[in-house]
Amino acid sequence: MPTTNPVVATGTGTIVTGQAYLRLIQWVDDADDVANGHSLVITIGGCTLTLKVCKHETAGSADIGSSIIWQAGVFNPGIPVDGISVGTLDSGAVHVWLG
């Protein structure tokens, strides 16, 4: 299990193997590049979530801006999960807090 928080993923792959305690998870537009239609597919404890940005057409610019796109948590105490992995990450980063 990683020892620093947050664990940051900027592409696809495994974030955590085995059991861990999830405190918070976020999809963050850290480089101001998440746009309408971009996706995140993440598997947490065997459950796959598919998230897609669907921006309202009158919102202005093509990009969302540096912000949190999606968040689950804060869980206190952390909830036990068996593995966390990213299958698709069109843009942005996934931040995971464990403990």
End-to-end CA distance of the chain: 10
User: 13 near 94, Cβ under 8 Å?
Assistant: no
pLDDT of residue 55: 66
Closest CA to 68 of 4, 6, 2, 1: 6
User: 6 near 95, Cβ under 8 Å?
Assistant: yes
Q: Compute the mean pLDDT over every residue in the chain, rounded to the nearest whole number.
A: 87
Verify cis geometry, omega within 30 degrees of 0, for the bond prior to 77: yes
Q: Which amino acid appears at position 80 of this protein?
A: P
Per-residue pLDDT tens over the stretch 37-51:
899 999 999 999 999
pLDDT of residue 1: 59
